Structure 1
Amino acid sequence: MQPIAIETALEEAKLKPEDIDAYAYTRGPGMYGCLSCGSHAAGAMAAMWRKPIVGVHHMQAHALTPLLTEQTPPEFPFLNLLVSGGHTMLVLAVSEVKFVILAKSLDDSIGDAFDKTAKLLQIPWLPGIGPGASLEAYAAPHPTNTDLNTRVETLLSEIKPFKPSAAKQRAFSFAGLKTQVMKETQKRHPNLQLKGKLGISEVVQRAVGRRFQQAAVRQVEEKLRIVLDYLEKDSEGRKLLPAGEKVKALVASGGVASNQYLRTRLKLLMEERNPGQPIPVVFPPVALCTDNAAMIAWAGILKLRRQGGLGDAYGQLLKPKWSMEAIEQDEKAGQEGEEDVPPAEVTVVRV
């Protein structure tokens, strides 16, 4: 981590290093080089100021963000849809540390599929946002160009909905969607070199992009139905919930959870599934859907509370591959080997 990033964060927060109660860092999963950078910076500051330090699971932090951001936080057990550039999972959150993975991707993540499809379609990056969010913008009707919208609708009438992958399975698959995007685009531009920088008309970009987004989100809806049925009707699935308990909320988190089309479809699905008493659907603020420091800090605060204010041992090994289902056991193992790190009195500011 660059010192300028730390200095800027302290200046914007109007804090001095000695004002910090404790330090949290991402212990995993992720790329080792990135994890190492953050852990070394946090460890050095914690040691210098004799403050507690805690290692946090990246996806756990995404899942627990609504416990900080919502005026009425979701109650456990809740179902967590984790959709990002690196992961696509449906996870049952039984507690702050107990998670059961119910569905994950067999190949690409949904965020990666959005990004790669945007590049295949040569959709230009719009100001301030990346390729996946630019595809979302192109998939929506143009706000002012009615002639363009009419031509897009005409082309859409010729493009059949893309076929789903991993049908009826408790698993995601998005690789096949990219293949369908490529074939549909080349059908409209037979001589097109898809790796080129120019050549795809905006009408094709918008129409094929919309078909892709519809298919990707439809798959999320289908897997959500399968998982909810599994928890409500399957004998094995019911055993995952405490006796008499039901899923109390659906939490969508990760970068793709900022997609407004996905948000709308998830709300409609829950309303259609339980008319009159839909399962609440919770989304963190858009700014906190993508990777951010606030979610790591919050997960660190919760961990400090569970550990009575005691931090982790210094120099814990990083975990580039770390299943959410191992968090509870790893935390217990870590507590057994704790060093004498000063307890923290942490002040929380709800976002």
Structure 2
Amino acid sequence: MRVLGIETSCDETGVAIYCTREGLLAHAVHSQVALHARYGGVVPELASRDHVRKLAPMINGVLADAGLDRRQLDGVAYTRGPGLVGALLVGAGVARSLAWGLDIPALGVHHMEAHLLAPMLEARKPAYPFVALLVSGGHTMLVLVAGLGRYRLLGQSVDDAAGEAFDKTAKLLQLPYPGGPALERLARDGDPTRFRFPRPMTDRPGLDLSFSGLKTYTRNTVLREGDDAAADIARAFQDAVVDTLAIKCRRALEQTGVKGLVVSGGVGANRALRERLGEVAAQAGAETYYPRFELCTDNGAMVAHAGALRLEAGEQSGPAFDVVARWPLETLEPPVAA
């Protein structure tokens, strides 16, 4: 089954074609970083307009890269939510129109389900059950994954997502947008012994997380120490986030007894986090699984893949389409035939 995937939940336009027999055939991502940089964050109206401009030529380009005619597609998957409603509507409108014109099924995909299944696009795939750490600019959660649509939320951030905390801290340090990667680069030059920041909610049981207090602690340190300490502050902040996530992942592996840890979402590209979680998993007798770096951020490949799994099982959306800004992952269910 050949499925076209369309991702427009925020500030990346992603298009891909995934085949259930041959794997990922082609994909392309357009980042809106340059568009939003002058504003220091995503402007929803500009994001939606840019998706409108980019989608049609990107679809044609991906079809050409895969050596396919659109009539050879068997289904279309698009991100239904969560995300920015205006941006989601662009992808949904194009996807549903294309599916209607080709008389093929369409399916609205959950953005976070697509992320947590993204490591299955790699040659080395996790086996069910596994623990997934979904860590991005909008979400930070630990999920026990027993199968497609079989998810149990173990813990999540009660305030800022980890990626959001990275971006806000980067802005405090006057780093360029996008802040997360810039902070990671600066932290490499920092002295790991100069400051030690708190590891929030690690002194109590449970798997929930919190990063707003850490962000405030960082802000107070910036005001006290000044710009000369920027690299050392960035290092202390990153170490605190990485340690906090590592502690919670270790607890999740211990509590569930599973032997696989999946890490996905934009912050999953952070090299310090990958190294630390590799150590945690090894100590627990488990293995870590990641999507390739280019598939950590929002992309069409993960949407095409997640959509293909459900479409092949017989699931599809009705003729009317809707999108949702908020959509709890734990409300998903397995396909009827799964």
How many matched pairs? Answer: 282
Partner of 1:108: 160
How far off its partner does 1:12 sit? Answer: 4.3
Of the three residues 55, 58, 74, the one matched with 1:8 is 58
In the alignment, the residues of structure 2 paired with residue 24 and residue 288 of structure 1 have an alpha-carbon distance, to the nearest angstrom, of 17
1:179 aligns with 2:216: yes
In the alignment, the residues of structure 1 paired with residue 134 and residue 223 of structure 2 have an alpha-carbon distance, to the nearest angstrom, of 32
Partner of 1:68: 121
User: TM-score, normalising length from structure 2?
Assistant: 0.79
Report 1:146-295 matches (<5 A).
Answer: 152-153=190-191, 157-159=193-195, 161-167=196-202, 168=204, 169-189=206-226, 200-201=227-228, 204-232=229-257, 247-273=258-284, 278-295=285-302
In the alignment, the residues of structure 2 paired with residue 82 and residue 4 of structure 1 have an alpha-carbon distance, to the nearest angstrom, of 27
Instruction: Answer whether contact 1:76 1:248 (CA < 8 A) is retained.
Output: no
Instruction: Specify the SS of the correspondent of 2:147.
Output: coil
In the alignment, the residues of structure 1 paired with residue 111 and residue 260 of structure 2 have an alpha-carbon distance, to the nearest angstrom, of 21
Backbone CA RMSD of aligned residues: 1.8
The alpha-carbon distance between structure 1 residues 157 and 68, as it changes in their structure 2 partners (threshold 3 A), is closer
Instruction: Answer whether contact 1:92 1:101 (CA < 8 A) is retained.
Output: yes
User: TM-score, normalising length from structure 1?
Assistant: 0.76
Of the three residues 184, 196, 212, the one matched with 1:136 is 184
The alpha-carbon distance between structure 1 residues 263 and 157, as it changes in their structure 2 partners (threshold 3 A), is closer
How far off its partner does 1:185 sit? Answer: 1.2
The alpha-carbon distance between structure 1 residues 50 and 107, as it changes in their structure 2 partners (threshold 3 A), is same
How far off its partner does 1:316 sit? Answer: 3.8
Deviations, residues 87-141 of structure 1 (Å, cap 9, x unaligned):
000000100111001010010000000000000011235xxxx210110011013
Partner of 2:150: 98
Partner of 2:87: 34
Partner AA of 1:285 in structure 2: R
In the alignment, the residues of structure 2 paired with residue 63 and residue 250 of structure 1 have an alpha-carbon distance, to the nearest angstrom, of 11
More strand as a share of residues: 2
Partner of 1:318: 323
Instruction: Answer whether contact 1:27 1:35 (CA < 8 A) is retained.
Output: yes
The alpha-carbon distance between structure 1 residues 304 and 157, as it changes in their structure 2 partners (threshold 3 A), is closer
1:305 aligns with 2:312: yes
Partner of 2:137: 85
Partner of 2:39: none
How far off its partner does 1:157 sit? Answer: 4.1
Partner AA of 2:171 in structure 1: K
The alpha-carbon distance between structure 1 residues 4 and 132, as it changes in their structure 2 partners (threshold 3 A), is closer
In the alignment, the residues of structure 2 paired with residue 52 and residue 37 of structure 1 have an alpha-carbon distance, to the nearest angstrom, of 18
The alpha-carbon distance between structure 1 residues 321 and 158, as it changes in their structure 2 partners (threshold 3 A), is closer
In the alignment, the residues of structure 2 paired with residue 301 and residue 88 of structure 1 have an alpha-carbon distance, to the nearest angstrom, of 25
In the alignment, the residues of structure 1 paired with residue 134 and residue 193 of structure 2 have an alpha-carbon distance, to the nearest angstrom, of 32
Instruction: Answer whether contact 1:74 1:248 (CA < 8 A) is retained.
Output: no
In the alignment, the residues of structure 1 paired with residue 287 and residue 194 of structure 2 have an alpha-carbon distance, to the nearest angstrom, of 37
Partner of 1:243: none
